[in-house]
């Protein structure tokens, strides 16, 4: 029997913070009190001066297995995730082959069962012709359905309006969408090719994958969800214009249409293309400083419900190609939480709000069973943070398989000291324990 007694931590949970103790036994939290007696055979962790947070739940990652393992694997990227305080993730279907049948989806779960350091779920991918397969998806053990309404890595574009309405009308599952209007993007790209030929600068990325492309697509998805009553979750919002589409006047548990923002859209702006280049080339594109400010405002006033990473590693060689040839996406799971805490120190967001948006709300939104909170009876997914131990990201401490980070050279004030996954001490003081303790996420759904 594995027991831990975490003592004297500043515990952040459900909008409050207090100094207290947490008792972990096997895979569960047994007690949370201001003071607890150490049980026999328990390992004591003195957390005086440290912050204790629920394990973060990342609702959008691309871990690249199967088929793209030169970029990353379930093992390598989940290992980086636990070092970054992310204890659960929801992975996207645009691997190779695309996870668009129940059999292919099951293959990914089979890999993760032996390879994942963190808890996992895999989204079922939608296409223009797989409605029958989508409807077989089990809501109790699959997070949701993913639809690409704009092409991205893997090119799983769903662009048939009749098919979209059928999907939205037919499934009770959460429909997660990537929203960019393909017609607008193609027209913009043609203009820039006419001007620059093959030498389009990366500084044009946010003008090609423009505000108009994002708003057109996301507004159509929201309108279709309103028409059909579908449960819609819009991934990686990037523009000020889209913020008018989302509400903050009803509780999250009652929302039918919800919104997500990613770390890179909160951190970078188009001004960073000149120094970061393709390393910050994402779809949707990083936009302007004004867009970033609008995202922060909507995040803090609860129009945006969730923060995620859209972790999507590519090799350095791939990212070093020309703008037109370099793929979109970048690795983020190891540095997401410390980047958010850096934003906290800058006065942009409270720690309580970070915990709400990256632990509590993903659990509520996806109805994740017994995770996302520090409560007795919940799985012991926990993160200890030293709020004042500065460190700098460099190649020697990057755990991603691809070996690079857009944050390389950045100094963060906070450092993650311990991560528990299902009561197992998966990461401590700079070292990942090689036992893979991740479990399949389950969902409290009918």
Closest Cα to residue 266, out of 290, 299, 243, 292? 292
Q: What single string gives the DSSP state of each residue in 183-208?
A: HHHHHHHHHHHHHHTT---GGGHHHH
Q: What is the pLDDT of residue 155?
A: 55
Rounded to the nearest 5 degrees, what angle is found at the Cα of 176, between the Cα atoms of 79 and 118? 15
Residue 124 tokens read as 């079922």
The residues, ordered by sequence, that sit 6+ positions from 383 with a Cβ below 8 Å of its Cβ are 52, 53, 54, 55, 56, 85, 87, 337, 416, 418, 419, 420
Segment 375-412, tens digit of pLDDT: 999 999 999 999 999 999 999 999 999 999 999 999 99
Give the alpha-carbon dihedral of 294, 309, 221, 145, to 10 degrees: -160
As annotated, the active-site residues are 310
Residue 52, helix vs strand vs coil: strand
Count of alpha carbons within 13 angstroms of residue 245, beta-carbon side: 30
Residue 174, helix vs strand vs coil: coil
In the chain (446 residues long), the average pLDDT of successive 10-residue segments reads 94 98 98 96 97 99 98 98 98 96 98 98 95 96 92 68 94 96 96 97 98 97 98 98 98 97 98 98 98 98 98 98 98 98 98 98 98 98 98 98 98 98 97 97 94
Give the alpha-carbon dihedral of 121, 332, 22, 378, to 10 degrees: -10
Long-range CB contacts (within 8 A, 24+) of 288-293 = 288/206, 290/240, 291/211, 291/238, 291/239, 291/240, 291/265, 292/265, 292/266, 292/268, 293/240
The residues, ordered by sequence, that sit 6+ positions from 376 with a Cβ below 8 Å of its Cβ are 28, 29, 30, 31, 32
Q: What is the pLDDT of residue 192?
A: 98
Q: What is the pLDDT of residue 152?
A: 55
Q: Report yes or no: 349 and 424 within 8 Å, Cβ to Cβ.
A: no
Q: What is the pLDDT of residue 86?
A: 99
Give, for 182, the enclosing helix (H) or strand (E).
Answer: helix 182-196
């Amino acid at each position: 029997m594995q027991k831990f007694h975490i003592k004297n931590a500043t515990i952040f949970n459900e909008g409050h913070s207090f100094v207290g103790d947490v008792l972990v036994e096997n895979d569960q939290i047994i007690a949370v009190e201001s003071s607890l007696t150490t049980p026999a055979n328990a390992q004591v962790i003195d957390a005086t001066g440290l912050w204790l947070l629920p394990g973060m739940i990342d609702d959008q990652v691309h871990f690249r297995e199967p088929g793209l393992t030169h970029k990353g694997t379930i093992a390598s990227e989940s290992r980086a995730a636990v070092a970054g305080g992310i204890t659960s993730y929801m992975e996207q279907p645009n691997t190779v082959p695309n996870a668009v049948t129940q059999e292919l989806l099951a293959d990914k779960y089979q890999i993760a069962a032996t390879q994942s350091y963190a808890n996992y779920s895999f989204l079922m991918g939608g296409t223009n012709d797989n409605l029958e397969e989508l409807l077989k998806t089990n809501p109790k053990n699959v997070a949701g359905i993913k639809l690409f309404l704009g092409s991205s890595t893997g090119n799983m574009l769903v662009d048939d309006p009749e098919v979209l309405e059928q999907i939205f009308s037919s499934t009770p599952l959460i429909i997660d969408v990537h929203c960019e209007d393909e017609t607008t993007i193609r027209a913009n790209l043609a203009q820039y090719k006419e001007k620059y030929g093959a030498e389009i600068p990366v500084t044009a990325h946010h003008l090609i994958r423009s505000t108009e492309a994002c708003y057109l697509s996301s507004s159509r998805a929201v309108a279709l969800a309103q028409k059909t009553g579908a449960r819609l979750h819009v991934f990686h919002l990037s523009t000020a214009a889209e913020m008018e589409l989302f509400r903050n006047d009803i509780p999250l548990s009652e929302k039918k249409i919800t919104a997500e923002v990613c770390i890179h859209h909160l951190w970078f702006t188009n001004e960073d293309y000149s120094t970061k280049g393709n390393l910050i080339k994402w779809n949707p594109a990083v936009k302007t400083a004004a867009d970033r400010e609008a995202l922060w405002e909507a995040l803090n006033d609860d129009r945006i419900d969730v923060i995620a990473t859209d972790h999507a590693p590519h090799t350095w060689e791939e990212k070093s190609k020309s703008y037109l040839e370099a793929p979109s996406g970048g690795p983020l799971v190891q540095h997401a939480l410390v980047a958010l805490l850096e934003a906290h120190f800058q006065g942009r967001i409270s720690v309580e709000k970070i915990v709400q948006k990256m632990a509590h709300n993903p659990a509520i939104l996806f109805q994740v069973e017994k995770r996302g909170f520090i409560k007795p009876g919940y799985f012991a997914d926990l993160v200890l943070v030293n709020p004042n131990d500065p460190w700098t990201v460099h190649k020697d401490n990057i755990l991603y398989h691809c070996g690079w980070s857009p944050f390389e050279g950045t100094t963060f004030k906070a450092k993650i000291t311990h991560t528990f996954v299902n009561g197992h001490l998966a990461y401590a003081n700079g070292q990942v324990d090689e036992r893979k303790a991740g479990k399949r996420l389950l969902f409290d759904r009918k």
